[in-house]
Amino acid sequence: MRIRGSVAWITGGSSGIGAALAHELCRRGARVAITARRAERLADVAASAPGEAHALPGDVREPAALEEVVAAVEANVGPIDLAVLNAGIWTQVDVRKWDSAIIREHIETNFMGMVHGLDAVLPRMLARRSGTIVGVASVAGYRGYTRAEAYGPSKAAEINLLESLRVDLGPLGVDVQLVNPGFVRTPLTEANDFPMPFMIEAPDAARRIADAIEKGKAEAVFPLPYRVGMKLVRVAPVRLYTAVSRRFVKAG
């Protein structure tokens, strides 16, 4: 799709990848609207953008709030050409202190947050028979990783949802793109106490996402070692996968 002149809406725009992408899309000539809960941070990101950016606070767990945000974007900025559903959280799970609340929180924010974004934009895109939906999931959705019992399933669900949508929405004029980053330095990864190989910076991730959008890539996995490595990880036999993964489990 052509970013220049488009109207883009990004969820999770107050920090990390979403904030960097808002600036990158502005730089490439899009008019951008960003949504997240922290209104002040959101306003700072919009104010420092190198182009037209609008801050519209909202919580992705609340469908009515997103409907209002999208209605306001379309009324004040223009019909949304590009929706980047990126808002997300990550907490490590300690299985010895099993707590379904952590799982629920991840499903409600990551997966249902994406679904609520779709609630708000999809009917409008379908009515226009045009638009691009970009979902930011994660390579963590490909297999079950250690301490990712809450985050991983929410990302696996996102990947699966976006693949189905790509099949069904294409003939109706709406494109679906999936972005699965490896490690990116953001507040989300700040507290991680394990090695994060091939980590990249948020502006770098944003450039790669913007390039993928412009090229119409169905699935963008980056950086390169993850693109290659994940192909192997995905086809690794279960026994081998489990044995190798256990080597990374921290002794408690």
Ligand X SMILES: NC(=O)c1ccc[n+]([C@@H]2O[C@H](COP(=O)([O-])OP(=O)(O)OC[C@H]3O[C@@H](n4cnc5c(N)ncnc54)[C@H](OP(=O)(O)O)[C@@H]3O)[C@@H](O)[C@H]2O)c1
Residues known to be catalytic: 151
> What is the smallest separation between the CB atom of 237 and ligand X, expressed in angstroms?
25
Name the strand (E) or helix (H) holding 91: none
**Residues β-bridged to residue 135:** 85, 178
Q: How many residues does the chain have?
A: 252
Task: Closer to ligand X by CB, 37 or 147: give it.
Answer: 37
Binder to ligand X among 38, 104, 129, 231 (CB under 6 A)? 38
Position 86 contacts ligand X (CB under 6 A):
yes
Position 93: which residue type?
V
**Dist. CA 139–CA 142, nearest whole Å:** 6
> What is the smallest separation between the CB atom of 240 and ligand X, expressed in angstroms?
24
Position 177 contacts ligand X (CB under 6 A):
no
Binder to ligand X among 189, 242, 243, 244 (CB under 6 A)? 189
Position 136 contacts ligand X (CB under 6 A):
yes
- Count of residues engaged in binding ligand X, rule: CB under 6 A: 31
Position 220 contacts ligand X (CB under 6 A):
no
By CB under 6 A, the residues from 5 to 24 that bind ligand X are 11-18
Task: Closer to ligand X by CB, 18 or 223: give it.
Answer: 18
> What is the smallest separation between the CB atom of 61 and ligand X, expressed in angstroms?
5
How far apart, in Å, are the Cα atoms of 160 and each of 20, 32, 114, 171?
Answer: 26, 27, 12, 18
**Dist. CA 204–CA 61, nearest whole Å:** 28
**Rounded (10°) CA dihedral 166, 170, 176, 177:** 90
> What is the smallest separation between the CB atom of 183 and ligand X, expressed in angstroms?
4
**Dist. CA 128–CA 207, nearest whole Å:** 28
Query: φ and ψ at 173, to 5 degrees?
Result: 95, 5
Residues at the interface with ligand X (CB under 6 A): 11-18, 36-38, 41, 59-61, 86-90, 109, 113, 136, 138, 181, 183-184, 186-189
